[in-house]
Chains A and B, each alone.
Chain A
Amino acid sequence: MNYFGKLFEGIYTLFTGSLEMALIRILLIVAGLALIYLCYKKILDPLILLPMGMGMVAVNAGMLILEGGKVGTMFVAPLISDPTKLLEALQVNFLQPLYTFTFSNGLIACLIFMGIGVITDVDYLLATPLPSMMLAVGAELGTVLTLPVAMLWGLNVKEAAAIAMVGGADGPMVIYTSLILAKHLFIPITVIGYLYLSLTYAGYPFLVKIMIPRRMRGIAMDPFAIPRIPAAEKLAFSVVALLVLSLLFPVAAPLFASFFLGVAIKELNVQRFKEFLTGPILFGSTFILGLVLGGLLSADIVGDVIVLKLLVLGMLALFLSGVGGILAGLLYYKISKGKVNPLLGIAGVSCVPTTAKVAQKAAFDANKFAMILPYAMGANVAGVITTAIICGIYVGLVPLMS
C-alpha cells in the first residue's frame, strides 16, 4: 500500500477491491443519504431510519484494510462465531458489544416489545375479541402465503419462513424469527423488515383507496359504544394470555413475556416502570436498533444476490397482508350489514399503531366525522397476538422440518 492509500484508506479501498464491491459501497452510501433526506422530509420515520442512514453512510465510507489485508470496518463483525476472534472484535469494533449482547440473543426485540406493551391499549380487543382476532387472522395472509412463494424462488423452508414474517409487520418478531431460523440472513431480512414497516404509512393508504370505495371508507362508528374495561380485567387478560401462549409456544415465550409484562405494568399503573420502559428502554432500544442495523449494512455483508430476492419477497408479504386484512374488513362489513367500516381490516396488520392510524386517516379523508381509531386499535393489538402465534409456529415447527 502506498502513502496515499495508508493516509486515505476509505478512498483507497474503493479502487483496490472488485468493481462490483465498489459499486455496492457507493450505492449503499447513496441509499443512506436518501434515507436521511426522506426522514428530513418526514416521508420516512426518523426514529429508526435516521440512525440507520447515518450508520450506512459511515460504515460504507469508512472501509479500511484490516489485519491480513482483508477489507473491513471498525463497526461490527456479525458473522464471527469463534470465541477468541469474538473477544478481539469486542475490543476493536465499537458496535460489537451492542450487537453481541443485544442483537444475537434477541434481547433488543424483547426490550422494544416491553415498551410497546406499555403503550398498547387492550381495551378494544377485550371489548370486541372475536371480530378483532378474525380481522387480524385475515391480515396474516402475507405471513403464510409468502412462504411457498419464497420456496418457489429457491429459498429453503427456514429462510422462506424468516422472510415471510415480514408480512406480520412486526419488527421485533422479524428480528426474532430470522435470528432463530436464518441467522445468515438476519441482517438483510431485518433491514428490509424495518424499511418496509416505515413504508406501510406511505403505501397502505393507496391500497385501501384502490380496494375500498369512498362510501364505505366514510362509515362512522360510535367510539362511546365500546364498554369501559376495568384495569383488573386487562391485567387478568395479560396474565392469562401470557400463560396460554407460553404454554403453547415456549420458544416465543421471551417475546410474550416482554409484551404482556409491558401491558401488566401499564394496567397496574406502576408509574416509574412506565416512564422507564416508554422512555429510556423503548427509545433507547429503537435508537440502538437503527444505528446497529445501519452499521451492519456494509457492502461486504449485504453484497449478495439473495438480498434482491428478499427485497421483492418482503414487499410481497406486506402487500398480501394488506390485501388479506382489507378482504377481512370487507367481509366484516357485509356480516354487520354495513354498520362496520371495512378500513378496520388494514389495522389488523400488526404494525402498532401505524396501521390503525392509516385506517383512521383514510376514514377522515372520506368523512371528517368518521372516528374509527378505538375499533382499529382492537384489530391492531389482535394483530400483535396473531403474529406472535405464527412466529411461535414457525420458530417451533420449521427447524424440525428442514
Chain B
Amino acid sequence: MHISITTPLEGAGLALFTYILTLIIALIVAGIVKLMYRLIHRKGQVPGPPKEERKIEEILT
C-alpha cells in the first residue's frame, strides 16, 4: 500500500502521527531508563555521596 501526502490536511495527519509516535517512543525510552535504574538499584538504596561529602560540596559551590 502506498500512501501519498500531498495536501496540508494530509500533512497535518502526518504531523499528528509523528507526534503520537514520538510520545510513545519517548515513553518507552523513559520506561527503559526507569527499568535500568530499578535493576541496578534493586536493594532500594539511592546512590550518592555520604551527607558529609554533600556538605563539603555545598560549601565549595
Contact = CB atoms under 8 A, between A and B. Distances in A.
Contacts of B34: 129-130
Contact of B15 (A147, A227, A232, A385): A147
Is chain B's binding surface mostly helix, strand, loop or mixed?
helix
A233 B12 CA distance: 39
Contacts of A310: none
A389 B26 contact: yes
Contacts of B29: 129, 133, 241, 244-245, 385
A402 interface: yes
A164 B15 CA distance: 10
Interface residues of A, number: 48
A129 B5 CA distance: 34
Contact of B18 (A237, A382, A394): A394
A312 interface: no
Interface stretch (A59-67, A134-142, A173-181, A194-202): A134-142
19 contacts: A129-B29, A129-B30, A133-B29, A144-B15, A144-B18, A147-B18, A148-B8, A148-B15, A151-B5, A151-B10, A151-B11, A152-B8, A152-B11, A156-B6, A157-B6, A233-B37, A244-B28, A386-B26, A394-B18
A158 to B, nearest CB: 9
Residue of B2, B12, B29, B36 with most chain A CB atoms under a 10 A cut-off = B29
A151 to B, nearest CB: 4
A211 interface: no
Nearest to A230: B47
B36 A236 contact: yes
A144 B32 contact: no
A154 B30 CA distance: 37
Contact of B3 (A136, A224, A385, A401): A401
B33 A129 contact: yes
B41 to A, nearest CB: 9
A27 interface: no
Contacts of A382: 26
Given A390-B18, A401-B3, 5 more contacts: A150-B11, A152-B11, A241-B29, A393-B21, A401-B5
Contacts of A147: 11-12, 14-15, 18
Interface in B2-57: 2-12, 14-16, 18-19, 21-23, 25-30, 32-34, 36-37, 40, 46-49, 54
- Interface residue tally of chain B, by bracket? 35 or more
Contact of A133 (B2, B9, B26): B26
Contacts of A230: 40, 47
A163 to B, nearest CB: 12
Given A224-B58, A228-B47, A126 B18 contact: no
Interface of A: 125-126, 129-130, 132-134, 136-137, 140, 144-145, 147-152, 156-157, 160, 164, 224, 227-230, 232-233, 236-237, 240-241, 244-245, 248, 382, 385-386, 389-390, 393-394, 397-398, 400-402
Contacts of A144: 15-16, 18-19, 22
The residue in A149, A230, A386, A401 that gathers the most chain B C-beta atoms within 10 A of its C-beta is A401
A225 to B, nearest CB: 10
Contacts of A126: 33, 36-37
Which 4 residue pairs spanning A and B have beta carbons closest together? A129-B33, A148-B11, A228-B48, A151-B11
